[in-house]
Structure 1
Amino acid sequence: MAEKKSQLDTGAYGQLLALATTAQGENETDRSIKPLNEDDRKWLEEALTEFAKDSDPIRKLKARIANLKDVDLEKNDEELKEELDLAVINLIDLVCDLDLALDFCKLGGTRIVEDILHKKKDVSSISILPLISEIAQNNPPVQKELLKSNFIDHCLDYLIQTENNTGKLKAVSALSAMVKSFPPAVIKFVQLDGHSKVLDTFHHASNVSDDHLLHRCVIALANIGRSAAPELISRLNIKPERFLAPIRERLNQEPERFAESLAYLQEDQPPAN
């Protein structure tokens, strides 16, 4: 039976290719081309229908959101990580498109992410947080949706409760993406004392020599300073230099080791007033 299907597929594709490359205009169709029989025609119609489905990004997005929702969060850590990582990778492949990232929010994707974060399990949070970073990156409409859904609160809560440094790293990355160049998110972040919590994470990273986490904290806090216009700084009564000064002091103690972080911090000095 499998051999017969292979022959059918090859024949149908061959005839389709022949038809597609038939000379146009006055040239006659090659008489060696035979009409498709009923079985081949049915197979071809089904194949083209499936191709159309796979080519529809919204249909694909809905299917992958459904896959994320179907992940069993009660599985053991190894199986859960494997299944969630695959679901997230497949989604990121689509939501790197700015419009599809917003569609992800509108189609209920963020509610599923929120449910996963509420489990407060390191393995699931670590797998899902990169999805927030991806959809929020340089995408104000998505940042607005995440702000309305209290994702800044969720990420800050996870940041301070987890003892897993990889989890802290993913949370800081998500926070950085959500607040960068989006003043309403900066306001919420500061109101929740987010800058102090990320600064505490910076000191923790320094104490345990986790340079990757430390650098991510530098990026997040520098982005806060750059996203806060002078009038916003005045309104929030914050001074970016106050939380950036201790960072700069620590980095300058080992300038070679922290050269990348120092370079990022010095790219664009935030207002000091």
Structure 2
Amino acid sequence: MAGDRMSWARLLKWSLSYIDGARPSRPISEEERRWLAEAVELHMAEDVVSRLREIALLMSTPLSVLEAQGITPGDIEDLLAELQVHVESIDIANDLHSVGGLVPVIRYLRNSNARIRAKAADVVTTVVQNNPTSQQRVMEASGFEPLVSNFTSDPDLTARIKALGALSSLIRNNKPGVAAFRLANGYAGLREALNSESARFQRKALNLTHYLLSENHYDCSVFAQLGFPRLMMRLVSSDDSGVREAALGGLLEIARDTTLGSRSLLADQDRLQRLLQGRIQSIRMMAPEDLAAAREERQLVDSLWITCYHQPSMLQQEGLLVLPGEESSEQPPDVASGFFEPLRQGSVRRDTPHERSDPGNATRGGMMLLLGPAPGNPRSS
């Protein structure tokens, strides 16, 4: 029965026979459960791919033709929203290009309607997230360029934020994407985002900045030249807890760098110390529930204090770093490792150590291009 490719109508009739109330229900056998699961999965996969083709065809139709048929911008938004749900599956996301749907989505990034541009960026974000295959396909389909343009110069703030989210997913664990982001003066765009009044925009920019700093130690000096440490110090006092934590994490990454980062922070050592003391005072005054929610912030403040001033912060001395009931940051004794030591040694001999990327001298000349203003590319309708 498991191999019998039943029609959907028959499958539905079979299912309804258990809930129509006409006869007593009986237990479903394991074989029937397997058949039902396989039949549903098979039909849904075929149905989704068929629907992808329909959506791709609609998106490929000229806007003038769609408008003549009564299709509104809201209808297109709904279509993109449906597409985003379908491509949450990596397999379906990778099918999007083969059915002709990826290029139309990228084309919508240049649409004259800001809400459509934003929704198209949402779809790209879902398609490329943790998906190297689709990351490469979006890059090859020239999806990077309109995303950078929208991120740096879109007049609509939501479209800019969505474009940054898509870029962040596109270039993570994607070296060609990171290189393209550098050459496109993306770092200047991040600096502009940190100067915005939107906490959401700031959070996304700080998170991507933290990722870039952690992936390539040379970027610490580039970010220092662009004035990121001072911007992050300002954001440490933000009213938004997510912004504060992301700013502290970025400062900690810079402070841990042995080439230039710590020196760039030491230039503002007094200011940084005052800011951290201010955060410690704010943490002391928090209500118990707020104190528990600020666990990551407490740990970041203490780690940054230790890195910069080589001694524990007052949070440790006053017992505010680890509250009663919270797990200690210290790891428990490793009792079992001795049993697996021979296996681990064999694995070490076989594996090549992972190294962080470093552009080296070959790209240092190009880095100074990042000091200019963010690009402002015109958008076609």
TM-score, normalised by the number of residues in structure 2: 0.50
Once the two structures are superposed, what CA deviation does each residue of 1:189-215 show, in whole Å capped at 9, x if it has no partner?
A: 001111111211321x23xxx222222
Once the two structures are superposed, what CA deviation does each residue of 1:51-78 show, in whole Å capped at 9, x if it has no partner?
A: 97655142232233334334847759xx
Matched, 1:140 2:132: yes
Matched, 1:59 2:50: yes
Distance 2:232 2:157 in 1: 22
Q: What stretches of structure 1 of length at least 5 have no aligned partner?
A: 1-8, 25-50
The match for 1:4 is none
Contact 1:133 1:174 in 2 (8 A): yes
Contact 2:84 2:123 in 1 (8 A): yes
Once the two structures are superposed, what CA deviation does each residue of 1:20-67 show, in whole Å capped at 9, x if it has no partner?
A: x8xx9xxxxxxxxxxxxxxxxxxxxxxxxxx97655142232233334
CA RMSD in angstroms, aligned pairs only? 3.7
The match for 2:213 is 225
Matched, 1:264 2:216: no
Matched, 1:245 2:219: no
The match for 2:199 is 211
* Residues 267 and 198 of structure 1: CA distance in aligned 2, closer, same or farther (over 3 Å): closer
Contact 1:71 1:84 in 2 (8 A): no
Distance 2:229 2:162 in 1: 24
Distance 1:133 1:223 in 2: 17
Once the two structures are superposed, what CA deviation does each residue of 1:119-164 show, in whole Å capped at 9, x if it has no partner?
A: 3432321221100111111111111112222322211112333221
Match of 1:98 among 90, 96, 114: 90
Contact 1:64 1:90 in 2 (8 A): no
Percent sequence identity over aligned pairs = 13
Q: How many residues align?
A: 226
Partner letter of residue 193 of structure 2?
T
Partner letter of residue 216 of structure 2?
A
The match for 2:175 is 183
SS at match of 1:150: coil
1:1-273 matches, cutoff 5 A: 13=13, 17=17, 54-56=44-46, 57-70=48-61, 72=63, 75=67, 80-203=72-195, 205-206=196-197, 210-226=198-214, 228-230=215-217, 233=218, 239-243=222-226, 244-252=228-236, 254-255=237-238, 257-267=239-249, 269-270=252-253, 272=257, 273=259
* Residues 238 and 111 of structure 1: CA distance in aligned 2, closer, same or farther (over 3 Å): farther
* Residues 241 and 140 of structure 1: CA distance in aligned 2, closer, same or farther (over 3 Å): farther
Partner letter of residue 260 of structure 1?
G
Partner letter of residue 246 of structure 1?
R
Contact 1:54 1:60 in 2 (8 A): no
Once the two structures are superposed, what CA deviation does each residue of 1:236-270 show, in whole Å capped at 9, x if it has no partner?
A: x9634445413312212x24x13212323445754
Q: What stretches of structure 2 of length at least 5 have no aligned partner?
A: 1-8, 19-25, 30-40, 260-381
Distance 1:238 1:145 in 2: 32
Larger fraction in helix: 1
* Residues 112 and 262 of structure 1: CA distance in aligned 2, closer, same or farther (over 3 Å): same
Tell me which moved more, 136-145 or 257-266.
257-266
Distance 2:148 2:165 in 1: 11
